[in-house]
Amino acid sequence: MIYYNDNELMIRNMEETDARVFTDEEIAQGWNVDISKYLTRLRDQAEGKCISLTAVYNGLPVGHISVYITGFRGCVQRKNLPEIVDFGVLEKYRRKGIGSRMMDVAEKIAGQYANTVWLRVGLHSGYGSAQRMYVKRGYIPDGTGVWYQNKLCAQYDTEIANDDDLVLFLFKDIRAVNGNNH
């Protein structure tokens, strides 16, 4: 399915061939990834758990994002609300509006299921641009604090590492975006 299409950018459902492209491109960027992440998204999409999207810029897959109908991690897992997961734009295609357009589509999809959408953002510096974008888009912290490996860091002396598993959960009321009233 195609969710957005203009002269340069198309946003469509993720396809199996995208998994290899994203894996290879992210490894070339120096990221530590393997194809299983994308294969999981494709499997979950086939099972109806999520809608996984690919941004295609001038014919090339350059970004991905998934909307899980019901969040499955941390504080979101028991709220029965959609969660945006695994959002990324390849570095050489950033600052072209691709990420913002992908978020527009993801929020619109999430708005079909609820008035609130959740996501989590990493706290290390590699997530700096995402942190800024989420705040500009109206996402706010949920107030539970920092999470590490899907567990709340409730104690002051909780042992953590500044890696991809150190996150803050954010949410956004998307009624105004979509004009819904669930």
182: in domain: no
179: in domain: no
Q: Measured between alpha carbons, how far apart are the two ends of the chain, in Å? A: 25
Say how many domains are in the chain.
1
Q: In angstroms, how far is CA 107 from the centroid of its own chain?
A: 10
Report the CATH number that the domain containing residue 101 is assigned in CATH.
3.40.630.30
Range of the domain at 73: 2-174
- 166 - beta bridge partners? 148
150: in domain: yes
181: in domain: no
180: in domain: no
For 21, phi then psi, to 5°, come to: -60, -50
106: in domain: yes
pLDDT in tens, 91-112: 899 989 999 999 999 999 999 9
pLDDT in tens, 19-50: 999 999 999 998 888 999 999 999 999 999 99
